[in-house]
Amino acid sequence: MTIRHQTRREILKATAVLTATASVGGIIRRAAAQGGAAQSRQIDAVLRRATDAKEVPGVVAVAANDKGVIYEGAFGTRNLAQGPAMTLDTIFRLASMTKAVTSVAAMQLVEQGRLQLDQPIGSVLPELSAPQVLEGFDDAGAPRLRPAKRPITLRHLLTHTAGFGYEFDNADLVRYVKATSTPPASTGKLAALRLPLTFDPGERWQYGINIDWAGRAIEAVTGLPLEVYFRQHIFAPLGMSDTDYVISATQRSRLVSVHQRKEDGTLEPTEPKDPPWREFWGGGGGLYSTGRDYLVFLQMLMHEGRFNGAQLLRPQTVALMGQNQIGEIRAGLWKTTNPQLTNDLDLFPGIPCKWGLGYMINTLPGPNGRSAGSLTWGGIFNTYYWLDPQKRIAGVFLAQVLPFADHKAVALYGEFESGIYGGLKAA
């Protein structure tokens, strides 16, 4: 990982011509003719009202169709206490929006035959060759473990059906971590990944450290740190020059603050601390990026794996990633064990959701315009994206608020999405 700075300079220099160079100094938006300037102004008004009312401190929202960008907006402030104003080049912590990037990387290696979806992942990661399932605790509080009934596969990892969880969505893992003195994920230590399964692979869906293990598999077969693989095979080809695990001092000057929602509904700036040194790059989280950069990533998927002159995936691979991979299992629900970090989750009440190879799939049309079969997920700081393959629309909504699934942020995300689809109807 010590080669990082030299590699970054070389790649950024080589890809500068691919990167948008417009200077952004305030609130900017752009609407294509088919979306309609009037509809774009309505979206502006919705986002401006919410930030003026401090419902969220600031937001960047961008969207595209198959012809190009149809909306860009930046409103509010990066920090309620000291500013400055939000801009389109503001840097955000993507958190779990990293997972889709890791999934694309894994599928690149599946295409090459270097990873297989349905072979035991223990052949690549010996640490996962004999998984253990947590069955409970004995009278002394010690964990009771048993061997899993079947091996873990890459498909299990990419679909969150391997049996791994997070502490914030599983009370037994909270107890296990305390009983075994396992370090939390925030330490960046590999030991934080040494968690047992909470059920046998393939039997349920549970959100967890699955994609971190997928990232470890990518490193194992390529011999590259995950940050280097991403830069060489995803970010540089697409011109995503503001996306990385580590950002420069100049980029850090554009970084937005995280705000914690207090019990009275007000927001207070906080600063999540990165560990001084990471033992691994998290496939499940950790990237920094901008709305524009992440939209480019979604446009690549919208265009069946090819964008900005780069072919990252085959069309059939992109199609496979967007198909239900978990059968009758339902995905996308949890009850929180840490209300400061996340609320209970059900982004589509009344709509059964599935999981593809990297993202959630709504099985019925969404309430704000997206088609059935659209792809979506988010990050713990209330960043969200969706990709509608049927209507050829992609959108990114970026805030930095805790807890996740913040009611005001989610409602505003829905209004933004509704405005984008309203523009299609007005065209």
**Cis before 131 (ω within 30):** no
Q: pLDDT digit string (tens) for 3-54? A: 333 344 443 433 333 333 333 323 334 444 344 688 899 999 999 999 999 9
Rg of the chain over CA atoms, in angstroms?
21
Q: Is 96 a catalytic residue?
A: yes
The pLDDT of residue 187: 87
List the catalytic residue out of 40, 71, 96, 245: 96
Helices H / strands E in the chain, number of each: 12, 18
Which segments of the chain have a pLDDT < 50? 1-35
The sign one gets for the Cα dihedral 329, 335, 337, 342 is: positive
Instruction: Output DSSP code: residue 395.
Output: E
Place of tokens 């969200």: 384
Cβ count within 10 A of residue 176: 21
The pLDDT of residue 36: 64
Classify residue 334 by burial, with Cβ atoms within 10 Å: 0-12, 13-18, 19+. buried
List the catalytic residue out of 40, 99, 229, 385: 99
Please name the helix (run of DSSP H) or strand (run of DSSP E) that holds residue 250, with its range, or none.
helix 249-252
CB 114 within 8 Å of CB 101: no
The pLDDT of residue 168: 96
The rounded distance, in Å, linking the Cα atoms of 138 and 188 is: 30
List the catalytic residue out of 176, 207, 229, 294: 207
Q: pLDDT digit string (tens) for 267-313? A: 999 988 777 778 999 999 999 999 999 999 999 999 999 999 999 99
Cβ count within 10 A of residue 209: 25
Q: What is the dihedral of CA 394, 204, 201, 324, to 10 degrees?
A: -40
Token code pair at residue 300: 């690549």
CB within 8 Å of 21: residues ≥ 6 apart: none
| pTM score | 0.91
Rounded to 5 degrees, φ, ψ at 396 are: -130, 130
Which domains, from first to last, does the chain contain? Answer: 4-98+222-426 (3.40.710.10), 114-218 (no CATH)
The pLDDT of residue 10: 41
Q: Is 207 a catalytic residue?
A: yes
Place of tokens 């099985």: 363
CB 230 within 8 Å of CB 106: no
The pLDDT of residue 109: 98
The pLDDT of residue 314: 98
Nearest of 220, 112, 246, 94 to residue 157 by alpha carbon: 220
The pLDDT of residue 427: 63
The rounded distance, in Å, linking the Cα atoms of 173 and 337 is: 10
Can you give the length of the chain in residues? 427
